[in-house]
Structure 1
């Protein structure tokens, strides 16, 4: 192994360690809401009564996802079913993806570009939150990075065997999240444009291997009555009146930094801004970071045309989201984030090249400036969560407080064979009356009449106490 490869691996390991720090810090403050709870609930039921999983959660477009993510969750739950440790593994997966991003793509881009891009990824507040949540799209980076690598293998090195991995990874990404469909469309356009050598056997190998996890889903759709209910759901979604959402054009400029966090905070955002006076300046800096992306686009279009494939993906996602009237969900841009980092890194490198005579190492100062402002924002975010515990936006109550509440109410059933399913379901019921009512109904469905009666009795006692 050459010294160059050893150095690349060493830097990759260092980036992995650095990426873990903000992702594991105060992990008990993580988000744990409906989608995460239902995913864990289905896995808990699987462990109690193993069966072939035929579908995942229902996506935002009303179509059930294939069960690939739930099979991944089964593996992540093997040693502990505590959401804290499962989320920790999601965080590690994302840190691994960042390390792979640097190690694999350093072959095709300058070291400066890759280091800048990697640090932009590591300290993106949005990507930090996504890497601390049990969500299917949050494992996409582990698939999109090798996909990007093998796309370069095919288009630059002209290696036909890369077709196996491109098709395989595309097939798996399509099963994880609907944004994979847009990746597929952009890939087809790029391949038609670049016209690489086609290898049908390699493509078939990749398709066959990648389709295996989807077979239960496909069979379930075929055998359902009516046939393919998800086809009907998709048709309903496509024919439903929807509006163009121009906000999708802004999301690439926001996902790199702390913009649009009012979505996370909800009504708590005003209090957050008031508590940390520096936020008004940080938001100004975040807006100015858009310049890096714009300069990166200019650089690739005018000076680095051989790298235009990354630009095709970065521009393709918001364009397709816009014309298909896809809502401007921030998590739909997780799949585009590696491309975004590469483009922004080219923008910073462009400034460095233009100002070298006057400000040597400008790219170093700019990257450090971005990293420092993002670290300050992340520190503010954690501090606010740690003190408030509850955020009025999509984040809700922090996991640690939810866990204490749930264990205080259902811990007495720890010896019960359905305990992990029971505990997971309880996370949905933060109202005590509703919790006892649901527990009574749950035990009744499990034919545990005595437990059901006990919970119902507790419910009546609480209502009587409240009525006094």
Structure 2
């Protein structure tokens, strides 16, 4: 009965309010990739790319595939994942009851059932939502090996260790110390079962291994470049995360500024939050009791302590989902601390247990009210983003006329995916869309895009093709022209132009009054006044200034071509000492407006001589800016 109660309690928060499930870029992309075999596309050798650019093995997509055969509705898939996690809570109860006692298992499982972070990471289409279900058999195998001396369980121990890494590679930082401390205890090992487990655990990753070997080891390259994206320095935040994940800590990250509205609507919830600070000393105390009483399980404690420390030392960002694997262990430590205090100090038993159960009731109300709030609001300004319910309305409306066609379902799934998810320089884009194949079909795709501008499948493929490498100026010119002929090309041009600016470390500037646009180095500053635009950086000043009197053709000297191949006067200022003091272009004609471009040293450093390397550098910078000048 307790098992069924815990499963039912867990289901209450995991399979309700399905319109409010998280459904943004990661979830939509995962669903789109998992369903591709349904639409006559091959299975992919990888499931996604991590925030560090590391390619993840395809296990997650393989796990989703049997479910998408039944339905591609995100609510159905999220409900299935929620059901799996709810039964995981019940099974954790049985596991902990067997090795640590009934009362410890009940408290641990109740915490796990109502934990806001455990719920958040168990009701969406995301690989990390499988961490707890996969860690359960790993922990069970560990206990069978340590307590029951059953060497056969080295097989599932190895299998699920490898599967966990394939689901989320950051789990290496838990599993490495966990295995290290386990083997330091010199357990009896069945190498036959261990090797069999490694063999079976690697099988789902073989397509990924083959892709890596035949494509120049892109993951190794991503790892080598990841150093530039890690956190700078060791922070206390890494060490706080295991405490915050116990309750509603760091919930601002999820809700953003909407947490103020939520707090104003339910003030009692936020007044009671200090109650959970009691968990912090209980956790530390419980860890000590666990270490003293459960010596065979110490590798679990050591791995728990090592995880945040390793993240901190290696400067890995302390995202909350990097600590999911710790949730059952943290609650286990607290439960063991509570049991010890209750036995040691009987007079304090009821106040302690009462406070704990009050916290569980509080979290239950918090979860229901949060889900209600999110479903009604539709989107949150924090990481939660837009809910499925809100996304569904936006995606289905423009596709209504295709509802009865065969391509509707795939078009709908592609519409949920943000355009940038398949930018051509990402590994996943090149895996889904072969540039050589796209090149052969460009004319066909353009015609289809013209007749079916709502088809996001075409949009994704074209973007992947045009952004395989940083777009050059001629590519941008082509895309601008295509945008005029096929308006649905506009977002592709915008994304390609944004990539060009990003890769060349440049900013774009548009001046509607002058009717022109240009690019300049990203680190330069721009100031716009009523009469002129001034761009400064690297010791130079570039200004664009309109003139009110039109000049005659006779007063313009043919000196250089600029803006629609017109000839403009270029005046270079050089002092008697042969020092460069600036260049003026103009007047430059654009429709009914004329303007000058002035480029000169800012006067903070000595002006360069003509000729000199400094002068060559200055004029090269100017040329790179003027080459980007175009009409709007």
Map Cα deviations across residues 401-445 of structure 1 (whole Å, 9 max, x no partner). Answer: 211221222132234333333212212459xxxxxxxxxxx9989
Instruction: Answer yes or no: is 1:382 the counterpart of 2:380.
Output: no
How far does residue 211 in structure 1 lie from its aligned partner after superposition? 0.8
Map Cα deviations across residues 96-133 of structure 1 (whole Å, 9 max, x no partner). Answer: 21111112332211100000000000000111111111
Question: Corresponding residue for 1:452?
Answer: 450
How far does residue 179 in structure 1 lie from its aligned partner after superposition? 2.4
How far does residue 45 in structure 1 lie from its aligned partner after superposition? 1.9
Map Cα deviations across residues 14-58 of structure 1 (whole Å, 9 max, x no partner). Answer: 321221011122121111010111111112222112423201111
Question: Corresponding residue for 1:397?
Answer: 386
1:193 to 174, 184, 200: 184
Q: Does the residue aligned with 1:397 lie in a helix, a strand or coil?
A: coil
- Report 1:97-116 matches (<5 A): 97-116=88-107
Higher helix share: 1
How far does residue 371 in structure 1 lie from its aligned partner after superposition? 0.8
Question: Corresponding residue for 2:266?
Answer: 276
The root-mean-square deviation of aligned C-alpha atoms, in Å, is 2.5
1:314 to 298, 304, 315: 304
In the aligned structure 2, how far is the partner of 1:239 from the partner of 1:429? 25
Question: Corresponding residue for 1:421?
Answer: 410
Question: Corresponding residue for 2:285?
Answer: 295
For the 8 Å contact 1:55–1:217, the answer to whether it is kept is yes
Structure 1, unmatched stretches of 5+, are: 1-9, 431-441, 464-468
Residues 1:129 and 1:445: Cα distance change in structure 2 (over 3 Å): farther
- Report 1:43-442 matches (<5 A): 43-224=34-215, 227-238=216-227, 242-243=231-232, 244-356=234-346, 358-362=347-351, 364-428=353-417
Map Cα deviations across residues 230-278 of structure 1 (whole Å, 9 max, x no partner). Answer: 1111122146664234312111111121111100011212222222211
In the aligned structure 2, how far is the partner of 1:64 from the partner of 1:223? 14
How far does residue 143 in structure 1 lie from its aligned partner after superposition? 0.9
Question: Corresponding residue for 2:538?
Answer: none
Map Cα deviations across residues 181-217 of structure 1 (whole Å, 9 max, x no partner). Answer: 1232122222232110122211110011111110100
For the 8 Å contact 1:150–1:166, the answer to whether it is kept is yes
Residues 1:381 and 1:341: Cα distance change in structure 2 (over 3 Å): same
Residues 1:364 and 1:199: Cα distance change in structure 2 (over 3 Å): same
In the aligned structure 1, how far is the partner of 2:351 from the partner of 2:47? 47
For the 8 Å contact 1:155–1:194, the answer to whether it is kept is no
Residues 1:31 and 1:207: Cα distance change in structure 2 (over 3 Å): same
For the 8 Å contact 2:20–2:387, the answer to whether it is kept is yes
Residues 1:148 and 1:445: Cα distance change in structure 2 (over 3 Å): farther
How far does residue 451 in structure 1 lie from its aligned partner after superposition? 6.2
Residues 1:306 and 1:206: Cα distance change in structure 2 (over 3 Å): closer
In the aligned structure 1, how far is the partner of 2:85 from the partner of 2:114? 12
Q: Does the residue aligned with 1:408 lie in a helix, a strand or coil?
A: helix
Q: Does the residue aligned with 2:42 lie in a helix, a strand or coil?
A: coil
Residues 1:445 and 1:288: Cα distance change in structure 2 (over 3 Å): farther
In the aligned structure 2, how far is the partner of 1:408 from the partner of 1:147? 45
How far does residue 359 in structure 1 lie from its aligned partner after superposition? 4.2
For the 8 Å contact 2:379–2:386, the answer to whether it is kept is yes
For the 8 Å contact 2:158–2:198, the answer to whether it is kept is yes
Q: Which has the higher contact order (CA 8 A, sep 6+)?
A: 1
For the 8 Å contact 2:21–2:123, the answer to whether it is kept is yes
Q: Does the residue aligned with 1:393 lie in a helix, a strand or coil?
A: coil
Larger Rg: 2
Q: Does the residue aligned with 2:189 lie in a helix, a strand or coil?
A: coil
The normalised TM-score by structure 1 is 0.87
Could you tell which deviates more after superposition, 404-413 or 114-123? 404-413
In the aligned structure 1, how far is the partner of 2:83 from the partner of 2:450? 40
Q: Does the residue aligned with 1:334 lie in a helix, a strand or coil?
A: helix
Structure 2, unmatched stretches of 5+, are: 420-437, 455-484, 492-632
In the aligned structure 2, how far is the partner of 1:446 from the partner of 1:186? 54
1:30 to 13, 17, 21: 21
How far does residue 383 in structure 1 lie from its aligned partner after superposition? 3.1
Residues 1:366 and 1:155: Cα distance change in structure 2 (over 3 Å): same
Residues 1:29 and 1:52: Cα distance change in structure 2 (over 3 Å): closer
In the aligned structure 1, how far is the partner of 2:452 from the partner of 2:408? 16
For the 8 Å contact 1:245–1:327, the answer to whether it is kept is no
Q: Does the residue aligned with 1:396 lie in a helix, a strand or coil?
A: coil
For the 8 Å contact 1:186–1:312, the answer to whether it is kept is yes
